[in-house]
């Protein structure tokens, strides 16, 4: 099956670099603590004593950049980690505690030059005005490499940190059906849709040339190029404009994790990138069809790209069978087999390359890999998988873009409030 060509309008026509990128798969990694296995901190080469240090995160992100990856995502929540969707547990044999994802990204931004940085932020208990300024600032500090993964919050212990509202209570039975979960949380998804819209409007509330800096006339700002957004919704009203100028990318890419029809519609309304969790090639094709339906439901313009990455949780080793044995050892330490919303892969980098290239034919744009152990599986990705994909002509051998939008082949959007498309 031939690779699908991304749709572009005349105002978003592809540059030669973007056309070249569209013929190669995209690759990202999702960073979370010591890795995505709950017992990963007990792996032989883990660094549990450094989890709450800047150096640990700097090492991970610079390693990902060494592998020429498009981006890293950084996980975050408002509650302590745990497997239950109903609330916290009392386990003390797993990693608990984390650093703020936006602040991690801001710390590593000056230490890297090309890789995209997508922190996760909560949108249920955080004001959209604060989110817009924090993420715009990250785009400035990274010189155009910021993205954003909005995440809603439904646990009662999350809400208890703030004491201003309650959220729908989920049961253990709900966890068995992603569509049921999405329906139960529909009001929170509707609120998240409004948050994304407000943040995007605030990013546009300064035109690109609003800052004049004319020392001779003493005029720093052209006030006519700042715009109130005047958003009024069910959950909040935001006047605007932002206090932060328009970000270097205009609109940092918004990424959404989606497992069901309602979150697919959230992605179709406001995202540039969606992370999905197929467990097979046919499963990937089914999800892509569901995303097309979601785009039709919300009326997404046909020429507005929505990149689709499939998630895989990976354990890698050069020795055949060793990755599976290491995972089983971690399962024993944790007291239960690892469970995940994403497909779990164990094997060699070459075997993973086979799987990725096979799944790619379904029409996916790329993959977000969740390393089971850090730093082990991240290094196996950058120094094992990436060279293998390069040998097969499926992955870049050098960065060709400066920004995260550039890596993803996304044009810089025009400002919705500008009288002329100076941001195009």
173 CB-near residues (< 8 Å, 6+ apart): none
Give strand pairing partners of 120: 149
Query: H-type helices in 243-373, by residue range?
Result: 261-270, 281-298, 322-334, 349-360
Name the one residue in this structure whose structure tokens are 């086979």: 354
**Contact of 87 with 143, CB cutoff 8 Å:** no
Euclidean distance between CA atoms 266 and 220, whole angstroms: 38
Considering the chain, what percentage of its residues have pLDDT values greater than 70?
92
Q: What is the pLDDT of residue 89?
A: 86
Give strand pairing partners of 74: 31, 119
> Residue ranges per domain, the chain?
79-88+116-131+144-249+411-424, 310-353+366-402
Euclidean distance between CA atoms 188 and 32, whole angstroms: 24
pLDDT in tens, 274-297: 999 999 999 999 999 999 999 999
Euclidean distance between CA atoms 187 and 371, whole angstroms: 32
Considering the chain, what percentage of its residues have pLDDT values greater than 90?
82
pLDDT in tens, 71-98: 999 999 988 888 777 677 889 999 999 9
pLDDT in tens, 338-383: 999 999 999 999 999 999 999 999 999 999 999 999 999 999 999 9
Say whether domain 79-88+116-131+144-249+411-424 belongs to CATH 3.40.50.300: no
pLDDT in tens, 221-258: 999 999 999 999 998 999 999 999 999 999 999 999 99
Q: What is the pLDDT of residue 22?
A: 55
């Amino acid at each position: 099956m031939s690779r699908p060509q991304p749709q572009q309008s005349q105002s978003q026509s592809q540059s030669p670099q973007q056309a070249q990128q569209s013929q190669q798969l995209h690759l990202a990694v999702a960073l979370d603590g010591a890795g995505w296995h709950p017992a990963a901190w007990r792996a032989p080469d883990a660094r549990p004593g450094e989890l709450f240090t800047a150096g640990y995160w700097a090492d991970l992100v610079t390693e990902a950049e060494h592998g020429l990856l498009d981006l890293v995502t950084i996980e975050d929540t408002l509650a302590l980690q745990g497997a239950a969707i109903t609330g916290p547990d009392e386990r003390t044999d797993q990693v608990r505690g984390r650093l703020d994802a936006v602040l991690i990204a801001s710390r590593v931004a000056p230490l890297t030059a090309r890789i995209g940085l997508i922190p996760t932020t909560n949108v249920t208990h955080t004001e959209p005005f604060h989110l817009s300024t924090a993420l715009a600032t990250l785009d400035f500090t990274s010189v155009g490499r910021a993205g954003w993964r909005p995440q809603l919050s439904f646990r009662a212990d999350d809400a208890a940190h703030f004491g201003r509202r309650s959220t729908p209570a989920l049961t253990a039975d709900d966890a068995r059906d992603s569509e049921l979960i999405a329906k139960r949380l529909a009001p929170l998804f509707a609120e998240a849709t409004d948050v994304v819209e407000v943040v995007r409007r605030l990013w546009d509330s300064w035109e690109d040339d609003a800052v004049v800096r004319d020392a001779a006339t003493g005029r720093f700002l052209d006030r006519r190029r700042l715009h109130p957004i005047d958003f009024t919704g069910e959950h909040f009203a935001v006047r605007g404009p932002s206090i932060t100028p328009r970000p270097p990318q205009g609109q940092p890419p918004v990424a959404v994790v989606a497992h069901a029809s309602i979150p697919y519609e959230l992605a179709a309304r406001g995202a540039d990138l969606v992370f999905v969790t197929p467990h097979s090639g046919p499963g990937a094709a089914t999800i892509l069809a569901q995303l097309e339906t979601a785009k039709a439901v919300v009326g997404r313009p046909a020429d507005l790209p929505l990149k689709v990455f499939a998630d895989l949780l990976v354990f890698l080793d050069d020795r055949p069978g060793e990755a599976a044995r290491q995972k089983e050892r971690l399962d024993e330490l944790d007291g239960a087999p690892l469970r995940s919303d994403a497909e779990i892969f164990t094997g060699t980098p070459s075997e993973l390359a086979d799987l990725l290239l096979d799944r790619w034919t379904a029409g996916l744009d790329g993959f977000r890999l969740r390393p089971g152990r850090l730093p082990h599986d991240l290094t196996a990705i950058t120094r094992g998988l990436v060279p293998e994909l390069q040998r097969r002509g499926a992955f870049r051998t050098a960065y060709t873009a400066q920004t995260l939008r550039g890596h993803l082949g996304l044009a810089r959007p025009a400002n919705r409030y500008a009288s002329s498309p100076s941001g195009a």
